[in-house]
Amino acid sequence: LPMIDESDVAAETRELAEERLAPLRERHPRVAVEIAVEGGDAAGRLVAHSKDAELVVVGRHQRRLLVPTRMVGSVTQAVLLHAAAPVAVVAPHPHGDAGDTDGTGPAGE
């Protein structure tokens, strides 16, 4: 198996997040957004960071079920139960790609 350089993964993840946030930052310049790329237990890290946050935003996975559901995954559930700040749960983009989000779709409602 090829070795994976965690610093490369973190840099690529940060770059992708910056690209996705750029249009929203332009549209909402007064909203402060901090990107943190960290390894480890996602729920634990988000809960720890919630102590210094005004709002924690987490995504909800698109489930491949026959019937639409409002279920959330284990990370989102843990953050909802233990975060020190308010939590916003964002639904997945209906077309599977949030890259063109302009604030008018489900995430912008």
Q: pLDDT by residue (tens digit) across 60-107?
A: 876 665 555 667 788 999 999 999 999 999 887 776 554 444 444 444
Q: Cα(96)–Cα(3) distance, rounded to whole angstroms?
A: 30
Range of the domain at 99: 6-108
1 domain residue, yes or no: no
21 domain residue, yes or no: yes
pLDDT at residue 29 above 60? yes
- The answer to whether the CB of 91 falls within 8 A of the CB of 13 is no
53 domain residue, yes or no: yes
The pLDDT, as a whole number, for residue 67 is 59
Render 59-79 in DSSP notation, one character per residue. Answer: E------SS------HHHHHH
User: Number of structural domains, the chain?
Assistant: 1
The pLDDT, as a whole number, for residue 104 is 45
3-state secondary structure of 44: helix
- Two structure tokens written together for 34: 């901090």
Q: What is the CATH number of the domain that holds 21?
A: 3.40.50.620
Q: Cα(75)–Cα(64) distance, rounded to whole angstroms?
A: 18
